[in-house]
Amino acid sequence: MKMIYQKIDAHVKDFYPFHMPGHKRRFFSTDIINHDITEMAGLDDLFSANGDIARLQNRIARMYGARHARILVNGSTAGILASINSCCGEGDEIIMSRGSHISAFNALALSGAKPVYIYPTLSALGYLEQPGQRVLDTILQHPNCKCVYITSPTYEGFCADVYSIANIAHKNGKLLIVDEAHGAHFGFDKIFPLNAIRLGADIVIDGLHKTMPALGQTAVIHVGNDNVDTDRLDFFLRAIQTSSPSYIFLSALDYAFSTILADSTYFERYAALLSQARGQIQLLNKISLLETDDPSKLMLIPPVNYSGDELYKFLWDRGLAIEMSRPCYALAMTSVCDTREGFEWLTDALAKADESFSLMRQHELPSVSNMADYEFSEQMMTPREAIASKSAYVDINDVVGRVSADHFVQYPPGIPLVVPGERISENCARTMKGAGISRFRVVTDQ
Ligand SMILES: Cc1ncc(COP(=O)(O)O)c(C=O)c1O
């Protein structure tokens, strides 16, 4: 049996990555093991930074237009947990999309905040859409709610109207937190949208490792203004993250922000290569490119009688590992570290797929509605109440109609099909069974 490192070595040798992390294995080649030390004499401390880390955080804050920035070594997850906990306590209302990443629901379980869910619609292609105007309406309908939490962009690259949401939230005395985990590159070139801090959000979480030259697990949380209690936020960041942050992360970030990210020519070159690749894909006859707000995401739509999974496999067989696929689309993630050769490899392979896919093929594809994904269920109690209730594992054949005491989530994109406190639907139970789950935790003392 191969060891993990051997499997990874083989993957790295055989594939070009159109997936996370954004460094694309082409960056920060320093002998990394030597950097694996944590805070010691002469080095700055992540949780009370006043030396090199403070300088780096100030530089990052300036680049994004933020008042303060804090580096995260436990991913965007740490920023989402800390921000929600710092803004909302037990019983406080928070407006959020039910299509949020699992970390936001875990934040509710920890803080005791009461969600006012906005249920996003499922697009014809099978991804969750932005709730749009309904966020503004919900803010006006809930004068007592303390905070609004949105995701922009979504995993597939669709943005919310952050500017209008921030305006309405502030006029109504609420803080706006934005999960910008997939938009850390926003604002770095004019082909990308502006970042949420510049659009008026109070707290923004950027997942550096997703789209930037940064190592897995690294992210940054920005504070936009004095409405935010930064001391309280810092308390939760200390509570949630490791007390031994590795300098591997910190020195790689310092390098990225002082080199590639400080020199606009890298992003100009990337924007040109990306626009050229998008133009070539748009010329194909059978494969199409879905327009997204974030052009870095290549949402590839195969012809109707082929699935996204088949397109994924076609690319995989040609040495291209893309981020993910679904029945109706396949998603490739690009970054400033992609090479001209990488883009050409992808566009050539897509041209070959376009040629070889036959429109005459008879082939039954799974329909989006059969996927059972995201048929959200009724909320019976808050996540905190469900976690605090008595619960037990029951056979998967007996879960329909019971109140969930756990999440069921599939990656990507990490949006739970059921969260603690929701009644488990037949569709959800079927999907769980399909995923090989034989027992699931439900509330027993309702
Ligand atoms: C929209 C969104 N938010 C937050 C996260 C959490 O990010 P991280 O894995 O860096 O903790 C993810 C991860 O996939 C995500 O897709």
Centre of ligand 1 to C-alpha 48, Å, is 25
Q: What is the pLDDT of residues 47-94, one digit of tens each?
A: 999 999 999 999 999 999 999 999 999 999 999 999 999 999 999 999
Q: Is the pLDDT of residue 219 over 50?
A: yes
Is the separation of the CB atoms in 175 and 181 below 8 Å?
Answer: no
Average pLDDT over residues 297-320: 96
pLDDT at 372 over 80: no
SS3 category, 49: coil
Which residue's alpha carbon is at the smallest distance from atom 9 of ligand 1?
75
Return d(Cα 87, Cα 347) in angstroms, integer: 45
Predicted local confidence at residue 370, as pLDDT: 46
| 27 or 256, greater pLDDT | 256
Here the tokens at position 47 are 């949780």
DSSP 82-113: HHHHHH--TT-EEEEETTS-HHHHHHHHHH--
The structure tokens listed for 93 are 């209302």
Cα 322–Cα 371–Cα 75 angle in degrees, nearest 5: 45
Is residue 396 within 8 Å of residue 433, measured between CB atoms?
yes
Instruction: Please count the residues of the chain.
Output: 446
- Which ligand 1 atom sits closest to the C-alpha of 217? 10
Would you state the pLDDT for residue 360?
79
Give the tens place of pLDDT for each residue, 309-361: 999 999 999 999 999 999 999 999 999 999 999 999 999 999 999 999 988 78
Alpha-carbon gap, residue 174 to 320, rounded angstroms: 45
In this predicted model, what pLDDT tens digit does every residue of 375-422 receive, in sequence order? 888 899 999 999 999 999 999 999 999 999 999 998 889 999 999 999
For residue 92, the CA-to-ligand 1 centroid distance in Å is 24
Whole-number pLDDT of residue 28: 75
Nearest atom, ligand 1, residue 74 CA: 11
In this structure, the residues whose C-beta lies within 6 A of any atom of ligand 1 are 75-77, 101, 103, 151, 155, 179, 181-182, 207, 219, 413-414
> And the tokens for 443?
């509330």
Q: Is 235 left (phi over 0), alpha (psi -120 to 50) or beta?
A: alpha
State the distance from the centre of ligand 1 to the C-alpha of 79, rounded, in angstroms: 10
Q: How far apart are CA 291 and CA 128, in angstroms?
A: 15
pTM above 0.75, yes or no: yes
Interval between CA 154 and ligand 1 midpoint (Å): 10
Task: Report how far ligand 1's centroid is from the alpha carbon of 338 (Å).
Answer: 21
Give the model's confidence band at 104: pLDDT under 50 very low, under 70 low, under 90 confident, else very high: very high
Share of the chain above pLDDT 90, in %: 88
E strands, 162-296, are 175-180, 203-206, 219-223, 288-290
Top mutation candidate among 72, 73, 76 for ligand 1, by most atoms within 8 Å of CB: 76
> Residue 207 C-alpha to ligand 1 middle, in angstroms?
7
- Protein residue closest via CA to atom 10 of ligand 1: 75
Tokens of 312: 């994924």
Query: Above pLDDT 70, what percent of the chain?
Result: 98
